Amino acid sequence: MKIAHLTSAHPRIDTRIFLKQCRSLAAAGHEVTLVVADGLGDETRDGVRIVDAGGSKGRMDRMTGATRRVLQRAIAADATLYHLHDPELLPAGLVLKRRGKRVVFDSHEDVPQDILTKPYIPQPLRQPASLITAAVIRAICRRLDGVVTATPFIRDNFRAMGIRSVDINNFPMLGELESEAGWSAKQREVCYVGSLTVIRGIVEMVQAIGLASPGIRLNLGGRLDGADVEQAAKREPGWARVNALGFLDRNGVRDVLSRSVAGLVTLHPVSTHIDSLPVKMFEYMSAGIPVIASDFPLWRDIIERNKCGLLVDPLDPASIAAAIDQLVGNLELAQRMGENGRQAVLKQYTWAVEEGKLMDFYASICA
């Protein structure tokens, strides 16, 4: 099959789009093109042809001009099946459908609910914007060939609309983040790798490391989301015990996990988080370190069933600090929980299962 993945917003080496989906499809023998809009030029990497539609100048250009440019490069690719990764590309999907192409949309998150948490949208406009977006997505997706989602919860939302959908979860690739360094190489450190925003708990994490036992440090992998977030985090006393590592490539992520005793995923209890399956949680598990996670029902079921971490109140820094102290102070417990999580990934939460589901979904659409 000739398959084209389209994104106007994500980086070309995005974990879900490129590292997992595109590379898996190319390895299976399909002809794969990835159309991006980052201004870094064309290239071929790991069997995937990457085509650049040109970088965007701000959010509005991304949502208007980038869509047009990506569509032009997508049409030139002349694929059999097109896989869209951004909501602003949905109108482009209708154009491709009119040209007789198979088109699927990948809902990485519950977009209407996600809008309700966007700080750049004025509070009075969020609810109307969410409702309008939901109506547009529903109308367009009913005219496409199917929807891929990042969680079963989002999948069920689309199925309730009568839209063919499958969940392709962001589970880890086996062995990618495992390190040869054993537990003897661990430092008195815990980590968080991902977007550093207020609703993802950056302030509470910094406060918690300030309350933890002396000598314990927090490794932060990622970029602080704007000047306001940076100021809020750095004004906390705990910032003196933070290793701010910036953006990390996959090798950098592996190195941080190899020296950390536990991984934090203490997201705030907003609607887009409560029913999510955060990739970082499963990456911590795949690396063999225990998870310190928000006490949400779905996450509680995973962590308690697999005995792979501790649950905390994400809005209570003292609760997070107590979990940090418990694991750093008891490496035998931490190692046992970490191994439990690794075994759970090997048996159930692995990308090898998800890539098979993706290819089966494509086959059913093109049959």
Note the pLDDT of residue 113: 87
Alpha carbon distance 120, 229 (integer Å): 13
Strands 48-52 and 43-45, bridge-based pairing: antiparallel
Note the pLDDT of residue 301: 96
As given in the structure block, the two tokens for residue 281 are 């949680």
Note the pLDDT of residue 16: 95
SS3 at position 219? strand
Note the pLDDT of residue 121: 85
Q: Mind giving me the DSSP string for 309-363?
A: EEEE-TT-HHHHHHHHHHHHT-HHHHHHHHHHHHHHHHHTS-HHHHHHHHHHHHH
Q: Mind giving me the DSSP string for 264-313?
A: EE-----HHHHT---HHHHHHHHTT--EEEE--HHHHHHHHHHT-EEEE-
Note the pLDDT of residue 184: 87
Note the pLDDT of residue 116: 86
Note the pLDDT of residue 25: 97
Q: Mind giving me the DSSP string for 111-138?
A: HHHHHTT-TTS-HHHHHHHHHHHHHHHH
User: Which residues in the chain come in under a pLDDT of 70?
Assistant: 59, 62
Task: Give the tens place of pLDDT for each residue, 78-101.
Answer: 999 999 999 999 999 999 999 999
Task: Give the tens place of pLDDT for each residue, 128-151.
Answer: 999 999 999 999 999 999 999 999
Number of Cα atoms under 13 Å in the Cβ half of residue 139: 7
What's the one-letter identity of residue 135?
A: A
Alpha carbon distance 319, 293 (integer Å): 11
Note the pLDDT of residue 108: 94
* Cα-trace Rg, the chain: 21
Note the pLDDT of residue 294: 98
Note the pLDDT of residue 182: 84
Report the greatest alpha carbon distance in the chain.
63
DSSP 8-state secondary structure symbol assigned to residue 207: H
Report all structural domains of the chain as residue ranges with CATH numbers, in order of start: 2-171+350-366 (3.40.50.2000), 183-347 (3.40.50.2000)
Strands in 291-294's sheet, in edge-to-edge order, are 242-246, 217-221, 189-193, 262-265, 291-294, 309-312
pTM as predicted: 0.86
